[in-house]
Structure 1
Amino acid sequence: MSNQYRERLSEKKKILKACLLALAMPLLLPAQQQSSDSVLQQATLENVIQYAIRRQPLIQQSLIDEETTETTIKSKLADWFPQLNFNYLFQHNFEVQTAVIGGEARKLGVNNTSALQFGLTQNLFNRDALLASRSARDVRNLAKQNTSSTKIDVAVNVAKAFYDVLATEQQIKVSHEDITRLERSLKDATAQYTAGVADKTDYKRATIALNNARALLKTHEELVIAKREYLKSLMGYPTSQPIDIIYDSLQMEREITLDTTQTADYKGRIEFRLLETQRKLQQANVRYNKWSYLPNVYASGAYNFNFQNDKFSKLYNTNYPNSYAALTLSMPIFQGGKRKYNIQQAEWELKSLDWQEISLKNSVNSQYAQALAVYKSSLATYLALKENMDLAREVYDVINLQYRSGVKTYLEVINAESDLRTARINYYNALYVLLSGKIDVLKALGQINY
Structure 2
Amino acid sequence: MKHALSVSLLMLVLTGCSLMPDYERPVSPVASSWLQSEADDAAIDNAMIPTPSWHSFFHEPQLRDLIAVALENNRDLRVAALNAQATRALYRVQRAERLPSVSAEAGGSRTRTPYDFNGTTQNGITSQYSATLGVAWELDLFGRVGSLQQQALEEYLATEAAQQSVKISLIASVANTYLLWQADSALLQATRDTLDTFEDSLRLTQRSFDVGIASSLELTQARTAVETARSSLAAYTRRVGEDRNALDLLLGQHVPVSPAKQPQQGTSVLSALPIGLSSDVLLQRPDILQAEYQLRGASANIGAARAAFFPSISLTANAGSASGQLSGLFDSGSEYWNFSPSISLPIFSAGRLQANLDYAELIRDVRIAEYDRAIQIGFSEVADGLAARQTYVDQVAAQQSLLDASEDYFQIAERRYRSGVDSYLTLLDAQRQLFSARQQLITDRLNQTTSEVDLFRALGGGWSNQAE
TM range (shorter): 0.7 to 0.9
Which of 143-152 and 283-292 deviates more?
283-292
Q: 1:70 is paired with a residue of what secondary structure?
A: helix
The residue identity in structure 2 corresponding to 1:71 is A
Which of 245-254 and 267-276 deviates more?
245-254
Tell me if 1:321 matches 2:334: yes
Query: What TM-score, normalized by structure 1, do the two folds share?
Result: 0.74
Tell me if 1:436 matches 2:455: no
1:160 Cα deviation after fit: 2.4
Q: 2:65 is paired with a residue of what secondary structure?
A: helix
1:386 Cα deviation after fit: 2.7
Which of 169-178 and 116-125 deviates more?
116-125
Q: Is the 8 A contact 1:52 1:236 kept in 2?
A: yes
RMSD: 3.6
1:297 Cα deviation after fit: 3.4
Which of 252-261 and 85-94 deviates more?
252-261
Aligned to 1:57: 75
Aligned to 1:116: 130
1:243 Cα deviation after fit: 3.9
Separation of aligned partners in 2, 1:122 and 1:207: 90
Highest relative contact order (Cα 8 Å, sep 6+), 1 or 2? 2
Q: 2:422 is paired with a residue of what secondary structure?
A: coil
Aligned to 1:150: 166
Q: 2:317 is paired with a residue of what secondary structure?
A: strand
Deviations 1:86-108 (A, max 9, x none): 24242525458979xxxxx899x
Aligned to 1:237: 253
Aligned to 1:16: none
The residue identity in structure 2 corresponding to 1:304 is S
1:318 Cα deviation after fit: 5.9
Separation of aligned partners in 2, 1:46 and 1:253: 17
**Alpha-carbon distance change, 119 to 252 in structure 1, aligned in 2, over 3 angstroms:** farther
Q: 2:421 is paired with a residue of what secondary structure?
A: coil
The residue identity in structure 1 corresponding to 2:131 is Q
Query: What TM-score, normalized by structure 2, do the two folds share?
Result: 0.71
Q: Which structure has the larger Rg over C-alpha atoms?
A: 1
**Alpha-carbon distance change, 365 to 348 in structure 1, aligned in 2, over 3 angstroms:** same
Q: 1:113 is paired with a residue of what secondary structure?
A: strand
Separation of aligned partners in 1, 2:404 and 2:171: 34
Separation of aligned partners in 1, 2:124 and 2:346: 42
Tell me which of 313, 318, 337 is aligned to 1:296. Answer: 313
Alignment of 1:311-350 (within 5 A): 316=326, 321-326=334-339, 328-336=341-349, 338-350=352-364
Alignment of 1:293-442 (within 5 A): 293-307=310-324, 316=326, 321-326=334-339, 328-336=341-349, 338-371=352-385, 381-442=395-456
1:221 Cα deviation after fit: 0.9
Alignment of 1:5-24 (within 5 A): none
Tell me if 1:286 matches 2:302: yes
Percent identity between matched residues is: 16
Separation of aligned partners in 2, 1:212 and 1:351: 58
The structure where helix makes up a greater share of residues is: 1
Alignment of 1:92-111 (within 5 A): 92=111, 94=113, 111=125
**Alpha-carbon distance change, 415 to 444 in structure 1, aligned in 2, over 3 angstroms:** same
Aligned to 1:165: 181
The residue identity in structure 1 corresponding to 2:334 is P
1:172 Cα deviation after fit: 0.5
Q: Is the 8 A contact 1:43 1:243 kept in 2?
A: no
Tell me how many residue pairs correspond in the alignment.
Answer: 394
Separation of aligned partners in 1, 2:233 and 2:346: 80
**Alpha-carbon distance change, 290 to 414 in structure 1, aligned in 2, over 3 angstroms:** same
Aligned to 2:226: 210
1:280 Cα deviation after fit: 2.6
Q: 1:334 is paired with a residue of what secondary structure?
A: coil
Tell me if 1:44 matches 2:57: no
Q: Is the 8 A contact 1:43 1:245 kept in 2?
A: no
1:147 Cα deviation after fit: 0.4
Structure 2: segments with no counterpart, 5+ residues? 1-59
1:417 Cα deviation after fit: 0.4
Which of 164-173 and 181-190 deviates more?
181-190
1:191 Cα deviation after fit: 4.4
1:54 Cα deviation after fit: 2.2
**Alpha-carbon distance change, 305 to 223 in structure 1, aligned in 2, over 3 angstroms:** same
